């Protein structure tokens, strides 16, 4: 016998309408704020209060998710010896990637970014936030069953996290060591949780640099079919 399904339960939407001119002004100000976001690999070791990291995680966790299962755990690390352990494991994997596994077409697009296996940011940044995606959930009867659209859900949550960090005047980097199974082991997460992103968070180093990139034009990224 299956578990009894919950009945729908609805409450009124909390929404207050904004005047059109104010809408445009808010839309413009968010755009200009987000346009200035950049990913840097150069972090200062200056301390960042735990409260700010907590708020970024709370904000990220407002993301919509498949069947509202919220299939994520954010593990925030400031412990230096743990960061060192993670850096060593990440660099070991990355060395193999850059020296042995990297396909030529991938090398072509990474070259302008100047990345290599050395991951100073993991120990430089005051906080490391690792996003784990839950591939399964535990039902109330104790059985494990799948989550739904967990990649999409966690991708959205990560986007909101990155926006929250930028909004508070800090920087982050969406680092994806590959493979990243070692993070589950080091951080002692359960089998059904898969590390998805490793995000150092902090102030940029005083001499922080970013690749000289431009973004695709609006025309390149959009198409309208108006009625």
Rg of the chain (C-alpha set): 20
**210 in contact with ligand IYR (CB under 6 A):** no
Q: How far is the CB of 149 from ligand IYR (least distance, A)?
A: 22
DSSP 67: G
**175 in contact with ligand IYR (CB under 6 A):** yes
Q: How far is the CB of 119 from ligand IYR (least distance, A)?
A: 7
Q: How far is the CB of 68 from ligand IYR (least distance, A)?
A: 30
**110 in contact with ligand IYR (CB under 6 A):** yes
Q: Considering beta carbons, is residue 96 or 192 the nearer one to ligand IYR?
A: 96
Q: Considering beta carbons, is residue 40 or 59 the nearer one to ligand IYR?
A: 40
Angle of CA points 53, 56, 61, to nearest 5°: 125
Give long-range contacts, CB 8 A cutoff, 24+ apart: 48-54: 48/126, 48/127, 48/170, 48/201, 48/202, 48/203, 50/76, 50/78, 52/168, 52/170, 53/127, 53/129, 53/201
Q: How far is the CB of 113 from ligand IYR (least distance, A)?
A: 6
* Residue 35 three-state SS: helix
Q: List interacting residues with ligand IYR (CB under 6 A).
A: 94, 97, 110, 113, 115, 175-178
């Amino acid at each position: 016998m299956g578990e009894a399904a919950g009945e729908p339960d609805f409450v009124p939407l909390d929404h207050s309408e904004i005047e059109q001119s104010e809408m445009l002004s808010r839309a413009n100000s968010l755009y200009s704020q987000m346009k200035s976001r950049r990913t840097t690999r150069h972090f200062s070791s200056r301390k960042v209060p735990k409260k700010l990291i907590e708020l970024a995680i709370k904000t990220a966790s407002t993301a919509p998710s498949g069947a509202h299962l919220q299939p994520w755990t954010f593990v925030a690390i400031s412990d230096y010896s743990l960061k060192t352990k993670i850096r060593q494991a990440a660099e070991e994997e990355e060395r193999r990637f850059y020296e042995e596994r990297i396909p030529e077409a991938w090398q072509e697009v990474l070259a302008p970014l100047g990345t290599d296996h050395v991951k100073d940011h993991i120990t430089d940044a005051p906080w490391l936030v690792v996003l784990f995606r839950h591939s399964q959930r535990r039902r109330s009867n104790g059985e494990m069953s799948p989550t739904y659209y967990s990649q999409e859900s966690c991708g959205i949550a990560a986007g909101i996290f990155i926006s929250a960090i930028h909004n508070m005047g800090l920087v982050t980097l969406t680092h994806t060591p590959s493979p990243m199974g070692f993070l589950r082991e080091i951080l002692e997460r359960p089998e059904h949780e898969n590390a998805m992103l490793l995000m150092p968070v902090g102030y940029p180093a005083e001499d922080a640099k970013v690749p000289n990139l431009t973004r695709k034009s609006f025309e390149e990224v959009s198409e309208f079919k108006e009625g």
